[in-house]
Amino acid sequence: MNGRDGGFRGATGTAAVLTGLGAWLPPRRVTNDDLCARLDTSDEWIRERIGIAERRLAAPDVSTGDMAVEAAARAMASAGVDAVDALLVATSSPDHPCPATAPWVAHRLGLPQVAAFDIAAGCSGFVHACAVAAGLIASGAARRVLVVGAETMSAMVDPDDRATAPIFGDGAGAAVFEADSPHAEGALGPVVWGSDGSLADAIVVPAGGARGRHERAGAPQGDFFVHMRGNEVFRHAVRRMTHAAREAAARAGWRIDEVDRLIAHQANLRINLAVADALGIPADQVPSNIRDVGNTAAASVPLLLADACDKGELKPGHKVLLVSFGSGLAWAATTLVWPAGLAPDCENPAPPLFQGPPMTFEQVKEILTTKGGLPAAPIAPDASLASANIDSMALVVLSMQVEEGTGVEVSEDVLAQAATVAELAELVGRYAEPRA
């Protein structure tokens, strides 16, 4: 049940206490100007109406599960733990319709047989998953829960749709919660949440699910992309988030003027400023990272928590109000007092969990010349792949040589993203994965 004096408590009188945070963003930055090359929009419009300057997009062979692994490993390192009782992945862009992404993430993290499942609550998924973690801990079903919010929104967004393409970005954030006293700093407070399925079509991917399955083969490609009635969503977001946040603060026994920081889902800067205004929370107490990462749906709240903590915008003892909103429609809010000693692991882009052996420029050059048959002269660190004659065939040769010599796999598509030969050498190590 929800306790008024702090803590979501059940049979054990135990709360879920935040002990670790991790974040991972794909390295590829896409600016508003980059989008303008394809869409009838402008940098000015996107900045003014949404508050976004750029977003990160995952490489074609990087999935939600991959990013979840990166963020989760960092959260566990931040908490100093190497095992959990349950792993929840909040996402609206799972690797597959079936199975859930979480068991694979657990496998990749080396957490065999742990309880692992996905939470589908759209952009509100992370706060929903925090509430589920609090319930698992309060009931005694788990003592340590890893909660991940991860999204590959670029897989679901029509790059030609100016209503959605400027908004969404990819990334993953994660948190570790451990059983402790409801009065401990970092304890999740009461949860206020809800849904309105009468507006299920306000943000929807029409195809790919059980509804309309008979037409699946003939469904237009656009039906596999997100469709959104932005204006309507905007209005509901402001109303629902304001109400839920106010109610969560009240149930925690906090006056709104005691709230030090409002951490809100990063859908649109204007939405959050409107919510803060309606609540009476000054704008400078509302951290935001939407300018740099866009709307990363279920990943947005943990990415913002890690970012704001890293920048010192969240300080020990701060009363923090969390609120989120998204497709469903669904919304959730809760509270926590920011704990001391929390050190998020959120280098962006951070070194990956599975790092291949480092490869020098000279080694790459040797492979390309001896095995790839390329002339040595144009292969300089600053040379572009094209000017160094490094075509897709040369990248295949390089990736096969790396695999043979080191046992790590790196796809040629990923290598093709390097701007220079020096970057190519760096990528070999950064993206290498262990052999299954």
The contact set with ligand COA (CB under 6 A) reads 41, 45, 49-50, 123, 162-163, 166-167, 203, 228, 230-231, 233-234, 237, 267-268, 295, 325-326
Q: Which is nearer to ligand COA, 194 or 378 (CB)?
A: 194
Establish whether 289 is a catalytic residue: no
Tokens of 54: 């750029």
341: left (phi over 0), alpha (psi -120 to 50) or beta: left
Closer by beta carbon to ligand COA, 267 or else 418: 267
Q: In degrees rounded to 5, what are phi and psi of residue 301? A: -70, -50
Question: Choosing from 32, 128, 130, 265, which is the catalytic residue?
Answer: 265
Quote the crossing angle between the two packed helices 421-431 and 392-406, to the nearest 10°: 40
CB of 12 to ligand COA, least distance (A): 34
Phi-psi domain of 113 (left: phi exceeds 0; alpha: psi -120 through 50; beta: other): left
Query: 3-class DSSP state for residue 278?
Result: helix
Beta bridge partners of residue 323, listed in sequence order: 264, 333
CB 226 to ligand COA: min, Å: 9
Measured in degrees and rounded to the nearest 5, phi and psi for residue 329 equal -65, 155
Residue 80, burial from CB neighbour count under 10 angstroms (0-12, 13-18, 19+)? exposed
348 tagged catalytic: no
Annotated catalytic residue 265: yes
**Residue number of the CB atom closest to ligand COA:** 230
CB-wise, 31 or 392, nearer to ligand COA?
31
Which residue has 């796809």 as its token pair? 411
- When the beta carbons of 224 and 234 are compared against ligand COA, the nearer one is 234
Residues facing residue 262 across a β-bridge: 321
Nearest distance from C-beta of residue 295 to ligand COA, angstroms: 5
> Which of 366, 370, 373 lies closest to 421, judged by CA?
366
User: Residue 211: CB partners within 8 Å, gap ≥ 6?
Assistant: none
> Residue 85: which of 110, 116, 108 has the closest Cα?
116
Q: With H, G, I as helix, E, B as strand and everything else as coil, classify residue 256.
A: helix
Nearest approach, Cβ of residue 296 and ligand COA (Å): 10
Residue with Cβ nearer ligand COA (234 or 361):
234
Query: Judged by CB, which is closer to ligand COA: 167, or 263?
Result: 167
Shortest distance (Å) from residue 283 CB to ligand COA: 18
Catalytic residue among 32, 268, 289, 295: 295
Closest listed residue to residue 185, CA positions, set 3, 4, 11, 342: 342
Q: How far apart are CB 307 and ligand COA at their closest, in Å?
A: 19
Q: Catalytic amino acids?
A: 123, 265, 295
